[in-house]
Amino acid sequence: MFKGSNVALITPFKEDKLDDSTYIKLIHFHIKNGTDGLVPAGTTGESPTLSHQEHERVIELCVKESNGKIPVFAGTGSNSTEEAISLTIHAEKKGADGALIVTPYYNKPTQEGLYQHYKAINDKCGIPILIYNIPSRSVIDMTVDTMARLYELKNIIGVKDATGDLNRVDQSLKKMGKNFLQLTGNDDNALEFNKRGGAGAISVTANIAPKLCSDFQRYSIMNDSDSQKKADELNKILEPVHHSMFVESNPSPVKYAAKLLGLCDDQVRLPLVKITDPTKDIVKKALVSAKLL
């Protein structure tokens, strides 16, 4: 249900307010250009600085506008278990196909704490849950053994792996089997990730290159030599773009790229700031090299 190229949707702002009309246009832009799934209110959607009302609003809009055409996995994580439960229940009520739930940041729970956090959410909802493991932002790293325990629960279906460690794909495959859904959160390792048994990505780059990303994902999960060759070619085209998206803190670079492409403004919320001129040059060159600009 949730494989291939899934976009970690940016949240457009206008005068520091949620820009509903532009957000709706972005959703239809992705449906038109072959994106396989939508992920609103994640890291790239600036969830840490969205108000509770805004957080619920972007999920609601995404579900409504996608209208069942492509799945929506709503970002409903929090370092507060109670808040994560509340956001997940809301997403389920609004019709989201699943929830992407980040490991609790700042609190630094133990592996048992992580298990109990996700179990508490699992027990209160009835939609599929993807674990979002991103130690670089959350400080803590969920082990494969803890994921295996969680996979025994009714709603836990897989992981968005943003560890950057490709060995995790092999370890998870061995421990949980091929039905445990593995999506990379790192655009730059998507090719090798899929070769090892991954099923796709939750992508930042897909915000600005949805067709390239969806074509790449489609070819990369095929086993024939022609498809693998096409995946390699598309990966080479996308590499400079992937790199440029993380020269400064995400989502500032991708919002600037979106502005260049006429998709939305590049406003971000403090403590994030707009990218510097040298980074702007890197982003522009990457877009030109991929023939996006």
Q: Taking residues 147-168, report their average pLDDT.
A: 98
- In what side-by-side order are the strands of the sheet with 200-203? 37-39, 4-8, 200-203, 181-184, 156-161, 129-133, 98-102, 73-75
CATH code, domain with 69: 3.20.20.70
Please report which confidence band the pLDDT of residue 223 belongs to, taking 50, 70 and 90 as the band edges: confident
Q: Which one of the listed residues 3, 160, 255, 280 is annotated catalytic?
A: 160
Asked if residue 265 is part of any domain, the answer here is no
Is 35 a domain residue?
yes
- φ, ψ at 60 (rounded to 5°): -60, -45
51-58 own/partner pairs: CB under 8 Å, 24+ apart: 52/83, 54/11, 54/18, 55/87, 56/87, 56/90, 56/94, 57/18, 57/20, 58/9, 58/11, 58/18, 58/23
**Among candidate residues 124, 80, 71, 70, the one with its CA nearest the CA of residue 102:** 80
Catalytic residue among 23, 115, 118, 132: 132
171 part of a folded domain: yes
Mean pLDDT of the chain: 97
Active site includes 23?
A: no
Residue 189: pLDDT band with limits 50, 70, 90: very high
Residue 220 CA to residue 145 CA, distance in Å, equals 28
pLDDT tens digits along 225-240:
999 999 999 999 999 9
The predicted structure's pLDDT at residue 292: 98
Q: Are 206 and 35 in contact (CB under 8 A)?
A: yes
Q: Which pLDDT score is estimated for 8?
A: 98
Residue 282: inside a domain, yes or no?
no
What's residue 157's pLDDT? Answer: 98
Supply the range of the domain harboring residue 214: 4-224
160 is catalytic: yes
In a domain, 246, yes or no: no
Q: What is the dihedral of CA 234, 222, 176, 72, to 10 degrees?
A: 60
What are the pLDDT digits (tens) for 245-292?
999 999 999 999 999 999 999 999 999 999 999 999 999 999 999 999
The 3 state secondary structure assigned to 239-265 is: HHHHHHCCCCCCCHHHHHHHHHCCCCC
Could you report the per-residue pLDDT of 5-49, keeping only the tens digit for each? 999 999 999 999 999 999 999 999 999 999 999 999 999 999 999
Answer yes or no: is 125 within a domain.
yes
In this structure, is residue 208 part of a structural domain? yes
- The tally of domains found in the chain comes to 1
Model confidence at 1, pLDDT cuts 50, 70, 90, reads confident
Average pLDDT of span 116-142: 97
Residue bearing tokens 């991954």: 198
pLDDT tens column, 80-125: 999 999 999 999 999 999 999 999 999 999 999 999 999 999 999 9
Q: Give a yes or no: residue 178 inside a domain.
A: yes
